[in-house]
Structures are given as C-alpha cells and as structure tokens.
Amino acid sequence: MASTCVVGLQWGDEAKGKIVDLLCDKHDAVVRYQGGANAGHTVVTGGVTYKLSLLPTGILRPGIDCVVGNGVVIHPPALLKEVETLANQGVEVGDRLHVSDRAHVILPYHLAEERLTEESVSAADHLGTTRRGIGPCYRDKVGRVHGIRIGDLYHPAHFREHLDRIVAYKNRMLTAMLDDFEPFDPRAVADEYLGLADRLRPFVRDTTTWLHEALGRGKRLLFEGAQGSLLDVDHGSYPYVTSSNSSAAGIAAGSGVPTRHIDRWIGVVKAYTTRVGGGPFPTEQDNEIGERIRRVGKEFGTVTGRPRRCGWFDAVAVRYSARVSGSTEIALMLLDVLSGHDEIRVAVAYEDEAGRKVTSMPGHLEDLERCRPVYETLPGWSDDLTWARSWDDLPARAQDYVLFLSSQIGLPISIVSVGPERLQSIAVRGEG
C-alpha cells in the first residue's frame, strides 16, 4: 500500500492543490472522487499560475495519470475548456486523463434549476452556492428518474429519447416557477452534448476497473478531495454544505476503490478559517481582523470571485472533521498570512447559551449558530514568514502557534506552508 488521501478539514479552499502537487512525485495517479466545477485549485509553479476546477491537480505533472471518478459531476463544456486552457499554457493532457463513464452529467437545465433555488426563494433559504449546477445534478442522480451519465452520451438514440422526456418535465416545472424562463429545446441540447461527447471520447472509460488494474500493478494513487470536510453533505454543517461527500468518506463510493488501499491520511487546514457562501461560522471575524486576513491571504473565491468570510482557527471544528476524514497528520497552510497580528486566537471549545461548555461539533444548524467560541489567545509575530524554508527559520512564536494547533487537534503537523510556491513548504521534524 502506498496510496494517500488529501482532504480539507475546514469549509474548503485550504490550498489542498499545493499539497497534492508536492506529493505527486511519490504517486502515479491523482483521483478526484466528488464535486465538480464548484472546486477551485490554484497552483503556482515556476511563476506560472494554473487554475484548475474539474481536473485533478496532478495534471500539471508530466507522467502523472489523472482520474475523474464516478462520484464527480461533470459539465462537459467546463471540462473541455479546462483541457484547452491548459494546452494553451503548454500542459498537454494527452492520454493521462481518465473520465468515468459512470459520472453524472450537468446539463443546462441544472443551471436554471439552481438559479431557481438561489434567486427565487426567500433570502433565508439561499445557500450561496457556486451556481455550477452541482446540487440539481446530484439531486437527479439520487432521484434516478432524470439522471444522465457520461456513458449515456455514447448511446445516442437512448440518450435523445431520455432527454426528450426529461426536458419536457423540466420545462413544465421551470416555466411555472421562473418568470423569465426560455424553455429548452431537447433536440438542440442533445446535439450540443453529443458533439461534446465526441470530443470527450478519448478520455472516457471505466475508471473503476482502470484504478483496480493500476493498483494491481503496484501503482500509487493520491485521492484529492474537493471542497472541505465541513461541507460534506452528511457530516458537514447541513444544509449549508455541498451535495457530495467532500470528506474522506466519499472516496470509496466516488472512485470504486476501497479505502483499505490507503495508508496515508493527510488533513489540510489553513492557519485560520474561511468560508464562502452562507452558514454558521463560529469564529468569523466580521471586523478589521477578518478584513486583514482577507486582504493578506487574498481570500476571494477561485471559482466565483466572492470575498471569503474570514476568522480565527476553530479547533473544535477541525477535531471533528479530522475524525470523520480519518486524518493521521495535518498540513498547515498559509501560516505566513497571520504575520503582523499582536495576538492570535484559537477556538478550543464552544459555549452554549447557558454558558455550558460544548466540546464537540453540534449537528443541528440552530445549535451551532447559538454556540460562542471559547478562545485561547497566543502572542503574534511580526516577521515575514514567506522566506522560511525550515522549522528553525520560523520565529519562536510561530513555532509555538503550530505546536499549539497540533496539540489542540491531537495530530502531528507534518507540513507547514508559508507561500504558494513549492519551495515555500517546511517539512516538520522529518515528516512530510
């Protein structure tokens, strides 16, 4: 066994892409198992910035195979555009990309349905999604009646017939509920998607079999989570979550690979917390502190450009998500962003309205909303950390902060990142 899992332990955007990129050399293939083009990974290498959404980060490394597993929802125009943009940046996907024939397809009516739920209901019901059609597509997947998979695109007669019925249903519903809705023409949608399917054909295969055969040949897989564990549809801050199992819990279902093949479980966290979209966020700093973190950390959504909500590190939330995702070590990202604060706070527990200590993550939205964080305060540091290349280069207060987080989470921190470049990564005490 030499396969690895890399998942975020907060509400996404933990800079997982950088860790995946760092670990690529020790693996043969990178596997996405959930989510879709709602994800955004930014990798900076050699001064060039690459933005990835549907494609696994490993695509930037020659010789690394990349799998978009059955649990991912695929918007074919978005996938093909990403392949094309990379080609323009000199990255050839060639025969390294493997797209599951069992993955579900995002169709134009999914985007309209999301507009319906995000714009036409009361503000209190908005989730603040990325508007990429993720929720409606997963809804059709589990509802079964209206689901379309990548493999259906290669059975054109069946696809056209099925799409006729689906589009008729969606048109009736959307016309009744959206004022300015232009009904879809099923034939035009089918023509467009069958054309896209032709271009996708070289990449499409049974990725479950491909992965098992690769394991049989001793290949090492790296499973790359998108979003973060606190956005997991089962284990996150429901309903303010995404529609997939974005914790490590999604790996087996979303790739067809049992997790007994994995022996390294890395949980990725930022040195603080961010969240995009709605939902409870106990340590949010809707003030100068939060603004400073946003400015220094350039905390704006990769996919939507929305400003991210920012706040202190929440050890209660991360202890919980590390358990759910089975993490055995932590990669701590963006430590450099915290330079310049007089003091730094960490939520070590919550307190409910009656002043009782809450040490585990409440399951109900209202209970979580009522929780107040109990903070420990640590002294800050003013040094620029972006130049640090080893543990000893970090000022004592930054080292103390890292060790404090480690003790609070209850796991070793094996990698500390102090900037976007590969070189700006510190292996802690020989780990990593």
Instruction: Provide the annotated active-site residues.
Output: 13, 41
By CB under 6 A, the count of residues binding ligand IMP is 21
Counting contacts by CB under 6 A, is residue 128 touching ligand IMP?
Answer: yes
H or E, element range at 369: helix 365-370
Grouping H, G, I as helix, E, B as strand and the rest as coil, residue 6 is strand
Can you tell me which of 30, 200, 231, 271 binds ligand IMP, judged by CB under 6 A?
Answer: 231
Among 19-27, 38-46, 314-322, 333-341, which window interacts with ligand IMP (CB under 6 A)?
A: 38-46
Q: Which residue has the tokens 């997991």?
A: 232
Written as one string, the DSSP assignment of 160-189 is HHHHHHHHHHHHHHHHHH-TT-----HHHH
Query: Scanning residues 233 to 252, which ones bind ligand IMP (CB under 6 A)?
Result: 240, 242-243
CB nearer to ligand IMP: pick between 146 and 270: 270
**CA gap 310, 291 in Å, rounded:** 7
Site string for ligand IMP, 271-300 (x = CB under 6 A): -----xx-----------------------
Counting contacts by CB under 6 A, is residue 127 touching ligand IMP?
Answer: yes
Q: Are strands 29-32 and 65-68 parallel, antiparallel or unpaired?
A: parallel
H or E, element range at 118: helix 108-119
- Least distance (Å) between residue 259 CB and ligand IMP: 22
- Least distance (Å) between residue 35 CB and ligand IMP: 7
Counting contacts by CB under 6 A, is residue 57 touching ligand IMP?
Answer: no
Answer for the pair 310, 294: CB distance below 8 angstroms, yes or no. Answer: yes
CB nearer to ligand IMP: pick between 75 and 96: 75
Q: Which residue is nearest to ligand IMP (CB)?
A: 277
Can you tell me which of 3, 130, 229, 255 binds ligand IMP, judged by CB under 6 A?
Answer: 130
* CA-based nearest residue to 379, from 346, 348, 404, 342: 342
Q: Which residue has the tokens 């070189």?
A: 423
Counting contacts by CB under 6 A, is residue 12 touching ligand IMP?
Answer: yes
CB nearer to ligand IMP: pick between 106 and 428: 106
- Least distance (Å) between residue 76 CB and ligand IMP: 18
Counting contacts by CB under 6 A, is residue 53 touching ligand IMP?
Answer: no
Counting contacts by CB under 6 A, is residue 268 touching ligand IMP?
Answer: no
CB nearer to ligand IMP: pick between 34 and 327: 34
Counting contacts by CB under 6 A, is residue 132 touching ligand IMP?
Answer: yes
CB nearer to ligand IMP: pick between 115 and 205: 115
Region of 218 (left: φ > 0; alpha: ψ -120 to 50; beta: rest) is left
Cα separations in angstroms, 252 against 32, 151, 214, 242, 246: 11, 20, 16, 18, 12
Counting contacts by CB under 6 A, is residue 134 touching ligand IMP?
Answer: yes
H or E, element range at 21: helix 16-23
Counting contacts by CB under 6 A, is residue 13 touching ligand IMP?
Answer: yes
Counting contacts by CB under 6 A, is residue 136 touching ligand IMP?
Answer: no
Counting contacts by CB under 6 A, is residue 224 touching ligand IMP?
Answer: no
- Least distance (Å) between residue 370 CB and ligand IMP: 20
Answer for the pair 300, 37: CB distance below 8 angstroms, yes or no. Answer: no
Q: Which residue has the tokens 């050399």?
A: 25
* CA-based nearest residue to 268, from 229, 211, 295: 229
Among 124-132, 211-219, 344-352, 354-362, which window interacts with ligand IMP (CB under 6 A)?
A: 124-132
- Least distance (Å) between residue 38 CB and ligand IMP: 4
- Least distance (Å) between residue 289 CB and ligand IMP: 21
Q: What is the DSSP letter of 230?
A: G
Written as one string, the DSSP assignment of 50-89 is EEESSS-GGGGSTT-EEEE-TTBEE-HHHHHHHHHHHHHT
Counting contacts by CB under 6 A, is residue 365 touching ligand IMP?
Answer: no
Helix 315-324 / helix 396-409 crossing angle, nearest 10 deg: 50
| Pair of tokens at residue 8 | 């975020």
Neighbours of 181 (CB within 10 A): 17
- Least distance (Å) between residue 295 CB and ligand IMP: 19
Can you tell me which of 19, 23, 30, 40 binds ligand IMP, judged by CB under 6 A?
Answer: 40
CB nearer to ligand IMP: pick between 243 and 417: 243
Answer for the pair 325, 8: CB distance below 8 angstroms, yes or no. Answer: no
- Least distance (Å) between residue 396 CB and ligand IMP: 33
* Footprint of ligand IMP (CB under 6 A): 11-13, 38-40, 127-130, 132, 134-135, 226-227, 231, 240, 242-243, 276-277
